[in-house]
Amino acid sequence: MKKSIIIFSFLAFFVFIVCACASLNMVEIREIPDVEDWAVAPEGYEVVFKCYMIKNPPTDFDELKTLVETYLDDEFNGYVDNSDSPILYKYFFYRTSKKFPWKWEPDHGYLSEDQIYHHTDDMIVAVYWEPQYEEKEYYVMQKSTSSKDYGATIKSVQY
């Protein structure tokens, strides 16, 4: 009886550890609220600008593109464009880092401003889409994590 309790306790602990480790590596995406577009909009266009944080993004470009594509397809399932002017959608996805933690939000402080455009070193996917055209443009980037050249683009692919 004691032996079965010990074995059961060990198995329960093992399952707990495995589940805890698996949850640490789960990919998560969240929208970053209250971001402001820093680029000038094309004349005559309405621009929708959104930024997202990805925790534990895949390193494979095709997997990362598929993750973002699936996320956007789920978000815009059943989208209908009723605007009179052309719309340009800009979606930027960022990796988490020490400089750009998961819970980051813009700081509009007087002396300590911290805006999304200060974190382009952590941008790993940019998506541009105009609804009048079917295809979205995906730019997937691998960025350096070295302190010497942090955020430098090592490789990029356009889809």
Q: Tens digit of pLDDT for each residue in 54-109?
A: 999 999 999 999 999 999 998 876 666 667 788 899 999 999 999 899 999 888 77
- Kindly indicate the confidence band of residue 32, based on its pLDDT and cuts at 50, 70 and 90: very high
> What 8-state DSSP symbol labels residue 1?
-
**90 and 126 Cβ atoms separated by less than 8 Å:** yes
> What 8-state DSSP symbol labels residue 45?
-
Environment class of 131 (CB within 10 Å of its CB; exposed 0-12, middle 13-18, buried 19+): middle
Determine the Cα–Cα distance for residues 157 and 69; give it in Å rounded to an integer. 15
Whether pTM > 0.85 for this model: the answer is: no
Determine the Cα–Cα distance for residues 126 and 140; give it in Å rounded to an integer. 7
Domain locations along the chain: 27-158
Determine the Cα–Cα distance for residues 118 and 153; give it in Å rounded to an integer. 16
